[in-house]
Amino acid sequence: MGILSGLFRSRDKPKNSTSGSSYRFFYGQSSAGKCVTERSAMQMTAVYACVRILSEAVAGLPLHLYRYNSDGSKEKALEHPLYFLLHDEPNPEMTSFAFRETLMTHLLLWGNAYAQIIRNGKGDVVALYPLMPNRMTVNRDKSGNLYYQYNTSSDDARTMKGATVRLSPYEVLHIAGLGFDGLVGYSPIAMAKNAIGLAIAAEEYGSKFYANGASPSGVLEHPGTLKDPSKVRDSWNAAFAGSGNSHRVAVLEEGLKYTPISISPNEAQFLETRKFQIDEIARIFRVPPHMVGDLEKSSFSNIEQQSLEFVKYTLEPWIVRWEQSIFRSLLSRNEKSSYFVKFNVDGLLRGDYASRMSGYATARQNGWMSANDIRELENLDRIPTEKGGDLYLVNGNMLPLNNAGAFANINNKEEENEEILEMDEPDGK
């Protein structure tokens, strides 16, 4: 990683580090003997699947800028320039989906996501460009103020000049994951390098088993002394090594004896190890196993509940980090009292059709949703107001407790008034 000055001169041979910048990463050699970096980790299908699931989930959620009205209600701030940047295009080169997907991937792999904030002369945000976390350093100056130092590359957008650029917090949108100091997050990949390294080692073992394993395999014994044992071995490997030569019949000559010494992958619990590491990686990212293809403990009765828990316990913390970082960095001090940013997760929490209709019916009958409120959630056209689309209805048999019997009292008074009128009327009229 280029963010640690001189530490990651070779991306293939990173070293452990517990000091330096505000980062405390532990990349490098794992206990399984495999080097784990964010790039090698992404070659694991389970890591790739978890990162893709979370990044696409955050990128696919509707993101809106809202404004508070004087009566306490809220509405989308469509006229605000920031609404278009967050909802549609953060810069001329990216869609909102691609921008958020990229930053969320950085957040999951490096524990931090950065974007350069481009402002006009008035201080308004006009563009957001992603910055690579492995080239960013976060430090404090002599006065204790934070600053960001970024090593530019030819792959970057031409928004900065110089090989190394110093940026202020005013110019950087920084979304930090779980960290030691509350300012800079540490990488989930680095913290779980041993689990990921074991998964890499198990996958490599399986690949080499089929690429190099001889079947049958073991020790060739000769009753005498061989002048050139390597020639016999090479001849044996040429005939039986590799998956293409599996199960061929071996013909032994000159008193050769073959003694198998290897054990099958099942006996070595190879498959179980690989499966357990998938669960381990899913646990790192808090992704339900069924979402990465492991359906062993899933059923029709619990998958929906697991999906709801995924939204509440996995997505929501990340979403809150996004919302609060955007609120802190992109809104001015005056705007913070009137505007706020919100991801809409209602689409992920709606459940199946029957459950949604039952919920809508309850909300409609109890007067806290109108027909248009429901139709908007279902992506249906609104009913005109003059036709009752915005009416809030309530069941007639539902009254506040202190009004209990009010209807009966009204009827009794009306009957008493009618009797008085009849008594006052002249006879025959």
Over its length of 429 residues, how does the chain's per-residue pLDDT go in tens digits?
334 333 333 333 334 433 334 344 455 566 566 778 888 888 888 899 999 999 999 999 999 999 998 888 889 999 999 999 999 999 999 999 999 999 999 999 999 999 999 999 888 999 999 999 989 999 888 888 999 999 887 777 677 776 889 999 999 999 999 888 888 888 888 888 888 888 888 777 777 766 665 455 566 565 666 566 676 667 767 766 665 656 555 656 666 666 665 655 555 566 677 777 888 888 889 998 888 877 776 666 677 777 888 888 999 999 999 999 999 999 999 999 999 999 988 767 766 677 778 888 888 888 889 898 888 877 788 899 888 888 888 776 666 656 655 555 655 556 666 666 566 666 555
SS3 397: coil
How does DSSP classify residue 9?
S
**In the chain, count of helices (H) and strands (E)?**
14, 13
SS3 317: helix
Question: How many whole angstroms separate alpha carbon 137 and alpha carbon 146?
Answer: 11
Q: Strand (E) positions, 177-331?
A: 218-221, 257-260
Strand order in the sheet with 339-343: 74-76, 63-68, 339-343
Q: Three-state SS for 313?
A: helix
Upper half-sphere CA count for residue 70 (Cβ side, 13 Å): 0
Name the 3-class secondary structure at 367: coil
Residue type, 44: M
What global pTM score does this model have? 0.71
CA distance 112 to 172: 12
Environment class of 306 (CB within 10 Å of its CB; exposed 0-12, middle 13-18, buried 19+): middle
Distance CA 349, CA 417 (A): 55
**Dist. CA 207–CA 44, nearest whole Å:** 13
Helix, strand and coil in the chain, % to nearest 5: 45, 15, 40
Tokens of 281: 């990686």
For residues 23-50, one letter each, b for 16 or more C-beta atoms within 10 angstroms of the residue's C-beta and e for the rest, the string is bbbbbbbbebebbbbbebbbebebbebb
